Structure 1
Amino acid sequence: MPTNPDPVRRLTALTLSLALAIMVGWLLLIGKALLMPIVVAVLSVYVISSASTALGNWPMTGRLPRFLRTVLMVLGFLAVLAALNGVLIVTARDLMAQAPDYQENLEKLITNVMALVGIEGNPDWRAIEEATVGRLDMQTMIGGMAGSVGAVVGMFVMAAVYALFLTAEASGFRHKLSVALPDEDHASKTLDVIQHINARIGEYLTIKTLINVILGAICYVILLLFGVDHALFWALIIALLNYIPYFGSLLGVMFPVFLTMVQFASVPITLAVLALLTSAQMWVGNYLEPRLIGRTVNMSPFVVVAALAFWTTFWGVPGAILAVPLTSMLAIILAAFDQTRPMAVLLAHDVSVFEKDHAGHTPA
């Protein structure tokens, strides 16, 4: 008989952990259509709950019961969702109708640029143009985008339904937890972890949403001043993609700048729009966001990038948008238990919060 079972136990634990990770990854992949609306609904409830709490601090709405404040926020959420869906559908329809004009303007712009640099009649450059830009079909590209828009609209509708039921049942969750976990210590610890997740994620999502609304409004004004088609749609895209750390701002600028290029066939206008949108992104990313968010989500930059890669692999662009709040939830859960606390430390950017908490409680 072995005298020291620790190596066997470690190997067993490692094997079970690896099997669990593979199973979770498999479930995330095949359950994308089912799980994604539920996750979006849960995160939406965080925003609704945090916004309802914030309304309680305002003089006009502070006297209202929390139930009424929550109802107001739910109605506002549904109104915003309906407006967003309407903008997406109308814009996709109009872009399909304008696709031939955009195709013509793109070809005109390429001809003008080639004439400007003196290579208009060069057969080599013409061959390169035909092999690259010449193969672009604006109608096909916009059609694919319209299909993606339809899928997003369907997901938001399902998320709204789930969010309504979750909001309605949120008030009874504490009682359910006390019944499910009769042991007061376990129930109290679990409730502490849940409350910490609620506070951290709710604060992050609410502030991030406010920042994105500000960024979207600034970009909307810029695009409107230049007369860019569907300025509201592109401002919404910029605001939505700004949920993605590091890369979202780049993607958000790229789409409206490309539309400006094919709409006006003018290099100066395109460069001006690019410069102003980039300046707005830099102001938000380097000044506004650090001041408002700060260390709300305490994750190292490498962990953020790795989380983006992981969630994007399984769920695409929606996964990239959800990567930070989902990974932050995982970090908070890991920090709540002594056995997994070292993993939470490795995920953190600022480990001083763990150094001040040697007792193993969830760090604030």
Structure 2
Amino acid sequence: MNEANPLRQHRLHPLQTLVLSLLLVVLLGFLLKIGQNFLLPIIAAVISMYVLITLSDWLGRLPLLGRTPEWLRRLLVLAGFVGVVAGLTSIVITTGEKMVATAPGYQANLEHMLTSTTGFFGISHDPDWQSIRAATIGRINMQSLFGSVLGSVGAMAGMVVLVVVYALFLTSERGRFAAKLAMALPDDSAEQTKRMVADINRRIGDYLAVKTGINIILALISLLILWLCGVDYALFWAVVIGLLNYIPYVGSMLAVLFPVLLTLAQFGSVQTTLLVAGLLTAAQMFVGNVLEPNMIGKQVNLSPFVVLVSLSLWSSLWGVAGAILAIPLTSMLVIVLAAFPATRPLAIMLVEDASAYAQLPK
């Protein structure tokens, strides 16, 4: 009996580990959900800091700015960041107010187009159609819809201010992080943590900087298309398209859907709507299939299935903001898991190309 007890305990150990791991994951998910208002601005500020540091290093490689001190380059990048955030916030709020004012005209255009279409097919006075219309389209009030969207945007303005403030302080304190890490951890742990943080800085910073540049190019192309087609609030929709392109797979579809629906409400013309949809889709295909693979390549080494799962997970926790941050957060998790031999198998299961982990010490 005495010899069986250690064996039985040994057999129970993997099960206990699995149960404790699942409990830890559930607890962590619960904390992320209830701590959304507190954690989301901090994580968004950390992600923003990666972009700012990468841009500052890029400025250092330019002929003239490369001779300037590092603090001046970071100051220029921070000033540009604050200006861009303030400008985008102003565009969104101003456009939202105008859309609420013009919503009745959009709804009248939709009503006219619907009446013409049903009249052409001879079903405008059909009782069944009238019941369906009253239960679906008749319940849509575009003014109240735009008003609710504007209210949500206004609520996000406070979080944007927090993100800017956190990013400014994080960027200013980044240089002292290495010294604090060396004092806080033993020699081996400090060196391992430094390498892990450096890997995160390099991969996530490069990915976010290049992805931001790609999204700016896509936004400019979309702005030109929308402006030439006479779509209202072309600058606003170009900003939305650029932001949604951070979301993998789903973001490109939503980026086309929203302005196309507004085009239908603005013009009440199926032909114009199809033209705008075709041009925006062509721009998305060019960026997604030609520009993005050549510029980003394998900087984010994640399995496509893992990308979809992470997108579902983070969007269920934090909504649209979680969907935008899904790729950087999952990439950070993979780098942390790969840094330790005990959790490296999990990292290998999450990546698309595992050859880079074959050379790491076990």
- Asked if TM exceeds 0.5, the reply is yes
SS at match of 1:62: helix
Matches within 5 A, 1:206-285: 206-285=209-288
Matches within 5 A, 1:68-107: 68-107=72-111
Distance 1:314 1:246, change over 3 A: same
- Indicate the residue corresponding to 1:359 in structure 2: 361
- Indicate the residue corresponding to 1:9 in structure 2: 13
SS at match of 1:331: helix
What is the aligned residue count?
358
Distance 1:251 1:3, change over 3 A: same
CA drift at 1:243 = 0.4
The answer on 1:148 being equivalent to 2:152 is yes
CA drift at 1:15 = 2.6
- Indicate the residue corresponding to 2:118 in structure 1: 114
What TM-score do the two structures reach when normalised by structure 1?
Answer: 0.96
The partner residue of 1:347 within 346, 350, 359 is 350
The farther-off stretch of 63-72 and 339-348 is 63-72
Identity %: 50
The partner residue of 1:321 within 324, 328, 339 is 324
The answer on 1:47 being equivalent to 2:54 is no
Q: RMSD in angstroms over aligned alpha carbons? A: 1.3
C-alpha distance in 2 between matches for 1:90 and 1:358: 52
Structure 1 unaligned segments of length 5 or more: list them. Answer: none
C-alpha distance in 2 between matches for 1:89 and 1:213: 20
SS at match of 1:167: helix
- Indicate the residue corresponding to 1:300 in structure 2: 303
CA drift at 1:118 = 4.2
The answer on 1:27 being equivalent to 2:31 is yes
SS at match of 2:68: coil
CA drift at 1:120 = 3.2
CA drift at 1:3 = 2.8
The partner residue of 2:333 within 330, 337, 360 is 330
The answer on 1:310 being equivalent to 2:307 is no
CA drift at 1:147 = 1.3
CA drift at 1:135 = 1.2
Post-superposition CA distance 1:132-174 (Å, at most 9, x none): 1121110111011101111222211110011111011111000
CA drift at 1:260 = 0.7
C-alpha distance in 1 between matches for 2:51 and 2:199: 15
Matches within 5 A, 1:141-220: 141-181=145-185, 183-220=186-223
C-alpha distance in 2 between matches for 1:113 and 1:243: 37
Post-superposition CA distance 1:340-362 (Å, at most 9, x none): 0000000011122223x1424xx
Post-superposition CA distance 1:107-144 (Å, at most 9, x none): 11111222344433433333322221121110111011
C-alpha distance in 2 between matches for 1:263 and 1:314: 34
